[in-house]
């Protein structure tokens, strides 16, 4: 195997391992607030996007619809979200954050910032810009390969 082939393989292996490690770190930190990684991600999505349908949330979080339904059921029971009938289509319900979720949202936003700072510590702005450009190209390549 050439050095370049070895580097390509190493990049993908590292990227996969990094993704798992970051998720594990995020999950551990969300646990300190009594949340799961999935609940924290749902809070983040809704806080950034506003109300979404269950299927939109499932797509955004890359989970199956039944998984999303169970997640929303649990968060609705705990008073973190509510389902409201969509005004334009009575068959759809929008998922909204409740006032009771605001403290949790702020905690998750803060811990997300800290995870980001920890993961990116010691990396120059220039290196991050190059890395971002490369990752975007890789992402685009995966999207193209999937079609």
Tell me how many domains the chain contains: 1
How far the first Cα of the chain sits from its last, in Å, is 29
Residue 1: per-residue pLDDT: 82
* Domain housing 78: 3-122
Rounded CA-CA distance 51/13 in Å is: 36
pLDDT digits (tens, 9 = 90+) for 5-56: 899 999 999 999 999 999 999 999 999 888 999 999 999 999 999 999 999 9
Domain-located, residue 146: no
Domain-located, residue 147: no
Does pLDDT of 89 surpass 80?
no
Distance of CA 101 to the CA centre of its chain: 17
SS3 36: coil
Residue 46: per-residue pLDDT: 95
Beta strands in 7-123 (DSSP E): 52-53, 81-86, 89-97
Contact 104, 33 (CB under 8 A): yes
Residue 81: per-residue pLDDT: 97
Domain-located, residue 22: yes
pLDDT digits (tens, 9 = 90+) for 104-128: 999 999 999 999 999 999 999 999 9
Counting residues of the chain whose pLDDT is more than 70, the rounded percentage is: 100
Domain-located, residue 139: no
Rounded CA-CA distance 20/144 in Å is: 24
Residue 138: per-residue pLDDT: 95
Does pLDDT of 88 surpass 90?
no
Domain-located, residue 133: no
Residue 33: per-residue pLDDT: 86
The domain that contains 33 carries what CATH number?
1.10.10.10
Q: Supply the DSSP symbol for 80.
A: S
Residue 137: per-residue pLDDT: 97
Average pLDDT estimate for 49-64: 93
Residue 72: per-residue pLDDT: 96
The answer for residues whose C-beta is within 8 angstroms of residue 90's C-beta and 6 or more apart is none
Residue indicated by tokens 């702005």: 125
């Amino acid at each position: 195997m050439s050095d370049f082939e070895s580097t390509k393989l190493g990049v993908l292996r590292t990227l996969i391992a990094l993704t798992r490690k970051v998720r594990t770190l995020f999950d551990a930190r969300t646990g300190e607030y009594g949340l799961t990684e999935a609940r924290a991600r749902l809070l983040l999505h809704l806080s950034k996007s506003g109300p979404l349908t269950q299927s939109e949330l499932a797509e955004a979080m890359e989970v199956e619809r039944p998984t999303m339904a169970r997640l929303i059921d649990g968060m609705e029971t705990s008073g973190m979200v509510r389902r409201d009938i969509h005004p334009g289509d009575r068959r759809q319900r929008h998922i909204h954050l409740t006032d009771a979720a605001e403290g949790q949202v702020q905690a998750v936003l803060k811990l997300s910032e800290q995870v980001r700072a920890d993961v990116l510590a010691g990396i120059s702005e220039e290196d991050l810009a190059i890395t971002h450009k490369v990752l975007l190209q890789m992402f685009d390549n995966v999207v193209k390969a999937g079609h």
